[in-house]
Amino acid sequence: MNSQIVKRQSDDFFSFVVGKPSGGEAIDTTVPGLYRQHVIMEFESVTIDSDSLDCEFTIPFDNNTEANESELIIYNLSYNTTNQLKKGGCVTVKAGYGDDLGVILTGTISDKQVVNEDVDRIITIKVIDGAGLSECETEVSYCAGSTAQSILRDLCGRLGFPIATFQPVRDYTFDKDINIDGSLMDAIEKYAGICGVSAYVCKGMLYVQPLSASGLDCFSLSVETGLLTAEEYEKEQKNGEFEDTVRGWELEMLLNHRIQTGTRIDLDSKRVSGSYYVQEGEHTYDGTNMITRVTAVEV
């Protein structure tokens, strides 16, 4: 079925180079419209272009196997087109500037609501991230002498996803029987923490590794490349017998579709210079401001 696309001209421009890869060539800022905000939402039979209709989004991402729920808002979509956006349908969201667009969400519609407010017809769509999993329960026991790494590997195998990487950085041997009865996702997160790593699904593959092992492109982030704010972050975590202190920065920047879990950010600001890895964050667009916010931590 052919997608429905309607175009509209827009005059929104930015004057920043947005997160180009370290060592990459500078973007030619003389190209007309290079920094024009642009969003495309691709449903199974409909394509929504921000040059034709007003839209908004909030799209979270993180370093665990829990399914993330994103929110898409579209204004004044026709009744016929609205009816084609069905629960269970697939959706992909691309965002960026001018022709520099990248995928920031692939998922499945979990809910749709339509509200009439003054002269606007507001369609709110909830989307379950395709990289996440629906909640599931597990009941399993491990005998005394089992290690955290062996338990984690077995739990990950129960997800049914191919394991792309399994790189725990520490281990612990339990002197008592271990009984797990409840959320499989919570159990994986717990034992990944004991093993000193993150466990998350990306593009249909399971990764169990430190964030620094992601192998993704790194980005130089400064005021000149889109940095807006930077606030210190510190959190104490109890992981089994281990107590970890996680330190880093909560960063706000102009939206960068290349930023995802595990991306290395080479931060250069008045307060700090150093390399940090994205643990979690969200991409947002309110119709005016297109922003990426992340928590980036030390290794």
CB 191 within 8 A of CB 172: no
By three-state DSSP, how is residue 207 classified? strand
- Count the helix, strand and coil residues of the chain and give each as a percent rounded to the nearest 5: 10, 50, 40
Task: Give tens-digit pLDDT for 202-243.
Answer: 766 789 999 988 888 899 999 999 999 999 999 998 888 888
5 vs 134, residue with greater confidence: 134
Q: Supply the pTM of this predicted model.
A: 0.80
- Looking at mean pLDDT, say which of 117-121, 189-193, 197-201, 236-240 comes out highest: 189-193
Domain boundaries, the chain: 37-129, 137-211, 213-297
- Which class does domain 213-297 fall in? mainly beta
Task: Give tens-digit pLDDT for 50-82.
Answer: 999 999 999 999 988 888 899 999 999 999 999
Question: What is each CA distance from 129 to 13, 93, 165, 187, in whole angstroms?
Answer: 29, 11, 21, 20
CB atoms within 10 A of CB 126: 16
d(CA 76, CA 224): 36
Tell me which amino acid residue 229 is.
T
Task: Give tens-digit pLDDT for 119-177.
Answer: 899 999 999 986 556 568 899 999 999 999 999 999 999 987 889 899 999 999 999 99
d(CA 76, CA 67): 29
- Which class does domain 137-211 fall in? alpha beta
The arrangement of secondary structure in 37-129, i.e. its CATH architecture, is Roll (2.30)
Sign of the CA dihedral with 143 first, then 149, 153, and 158 last: positive
215 vs 83, residue with greater confidence: 83
Instruction: Look at residue 35 in the predicted model and tell me its pLDDT.
Output: 67
Does residue 259 have a pLDDT over 90? yes
